[in-house]
Amino acid sequence: MSEYIFKLPDLGEGTVESEIGEWFIKVGDTVNEEDVVGTMMTDKAAVELSSPVSGTVVKLAGEPGDIVAVGAALVTINTEGTADEGRVTGATTEEPAAAAATPAEAAPAETAPAEETPAEAVPARVITSPAIRMRAKEAGVDLALVQGTGPGGRIVRKDFDRFLKARATGTADTAPQTPSDAVKEIKIIGVRRIIAERMQAAKREIPHFAFVEEIDITELESLRKHLNAKKDKADRLTLLPFLGLALIRALREFPQCNVTHDKDRNLLLQHEAVHLGVATQTPDGLKVPVVKHAEMRSLEELAAEIRRLSEAARTNKARKSELTGSTITITSLGKLGGIVSTPVINSPEVGIIGVNRAVDRPMVVDGQVAVRLMMNLSTSFDHRFVDGYDAAAMVQRIKEMLEHPATIFLP
């Protein structure tokens, strides 16, 4: 028997080992060259790996959640009777597309429409792997009809196989609901494991200092609506780019907040550039895509880049370089923003700015009670390196600009 040993390749950034995220194959399956066999998790990405040969799967390195060293056997494939017969070892050199992981948040994805759409144009909101999308296209299946049981409703291999079986037998895709005391064990792997580890480390190592301030955004909201009046729905401005511009201007006066902590060298790295992290909620967990050199962008450019990166993070299309290198982060719970939150600092940064829900409140203005649109900013700072006075002063500067939005655009 001629066997090809597909070894785990170097996934970049000095990776020496990787966690098995998900298999799209099992022992006994026939695979073709370039078929996606599974995903491997690094600290920053879920990387899809393709088979470099055709043949029959003989052995897999382990189960999802298991750790595999770079250069170790990942998949053993019997190539007997194929053009690859005689090749005994190797590893793919093609760099697969990557998605990513980290903390924070943004607006949730839209719900799926009730009516069918062609399988050739599967909407981005259907979360699944490229391999399953290809199978669906070949089988003429609308993935919007398949019930996903993975994280965030992700359609995994067993979901698609169950749907095909149900369609072939004419039975319903889902079993009837019955009372059950069953307990499902969910292995903490992949993106969720990385988020858990980083959150725990951030809270254990960083003494968080929280500061909350209420802001009257009545004039800002009026400006936002005015600018959006002639825009397409997809291009309309949210509050985030305005907050981003105000934060960038404030950091010029408080550069000690645009800092990352190199704990290995016991250094603070004060950055000239503002690489703005935008915490985004995705089906896989919280991720932080990064707007590089946000200080060089206009309002429209900043808004467009936030939209692009947030969508790329939600659909697992963000590159690894777009998910690293932030110097300060903005996080928003959108309509779920509540009154106050205590955002966790995105290490190695020293500050994070959290946006809460905007609501109409009765306020005293010039001695008269008036209805104003009010919003709280909930911020956290690393108290080892940012003094409370400086943190409060920076937030007050942001408040001043947001309450008088014309000042955001002054030279």
CATH code (residue 19): 2.40.50.100
**Which of the residue ranges 47-61, 80-94, 127-141, 184-198 has the most confident prediction, judged by mean pLDDT?**
47-61
Residue 50 maps to a domain: yes
Residue 243 maps to a domain: yes
Q: What are residue 285's DSSP bridge partners?
A: 282
The active-site residue, picked from 66, 235, 360, 387, is 387
139-153, 256-270, 348-362: range with lowest mean pLDDT: 139-153
Q: For residues 123 and 100, give the distance between their C-alpha atoms in angstroms, rounded to a whole number.
A: 20
Residue 388 maps to a domain: yes
- Is pLDDT of 196 > 90? no
Alpha helices in 101-217 (DSSP H): 130-139, 157-169, 190-205
pLDDT of residue 102: 42
Among the candidates 90, 123, 138, a domain finishes at 90
The number of distinct structural domains making up the chain is: 2
* Torsion angles phi and psi, residue 319, rounded to 5: -75, 160
Q: Give the model confidence (pLDDT) of 367-405 as tens digits.
A: 999 999 999 999 999 999 999 999 999 999 999 999 999
Q: Are 163 and 148 in contact (CB under 8 A)?
A: no
% of the chain residues with pLDDT over 70: 85
pLDDT of residue 221: 96
Residue 107 maps to a domain: no
3-state secondary structure of 406: helix
Residue 157 maps to a domain: no
Among the candidates 39, 72, 90, a domain finishes at 90
- Is pLDDT of 58 > 70? yes
Among the candidates 60, 90, 120, a domain finishes at 90
6 band by pLDDT with thresholds 50, 70 and 90: very high
Written as one letter, the residue type at 111 is T
- The answer to whether residues 235 and 375 belong to one domain is yes
Question: How distant, in Å, are the alpha carbons of 20, 59, 61, 89, 357 from that of 67?
Answer: 6, 16, 9, 20, 41
Alpha helices in 206-296 (DSSP H): 218-228, 239-253
- The answer to whether residues 388 and 241 belong to one domain is yes
- Going by C-beta distance under 8 Å and a sequence separation of 6 or more, which residues neighbour residue 69? 8, 16, 17
Structure tokens at 315: 């659909």
Q: For residues 73 and 78, give the distance between their C-alpha atoms in angstroms, rounded to a whole number.
A: 14
pLDDT of residue 405: 96
The active-site residue, picked from 29, 383, 390, 404, is 383
Please give the full DSSP string across 35-78, using - where no structure is assigned. -EEEEEE-SS-EEEEE-SS-EEEEEES--TT-EEETTSEEEEEE
Mean pLDDT computed over 321-343? 88
CA torsion sign for 331, 333, 338, 341 is negative
pLDDT of residue 66: 87
Q: Give the model confidence (pLDDT) of 272-297 as tens digits.
A: 999 999 999 888 788 999 999 999 99
Summary count for the chain: helices (H), strands (E): 7, 19
CA 230 distance to own-chain centroid? 30
Residue 112 maps to a domain: no
Mean pLDDT computed over 190-215? 89
Q: What are residue 67's DSSP bridge partners?
A: 19
- The answer to whether residues 215 and 67 belong to one domain is no
Q: For residues 9 and 304, give the distance between their C-alpha atoms in angstroms, rounded to a whole number.
A: 35
Q: For residues 371 and 359, give the distance between their C-alpha atoms in angstroms, rounded to a whole number.
A: 10
Question: Which range marks the domain in which residue 320 is found?
Answer: 207-409
Residue 163 maps to a domain: no
CATH number of the domain that residue 384 is part of: 3.30.559.10
Is 383 catalytic? The answer is yes
Q: For residues 236 and 347, give the distance between their C-alpha atoms in angstroms, rounded to a whole number.
A: 31
Residue 187 maps to a domain: no
Is 271 catalytic? The answer is no
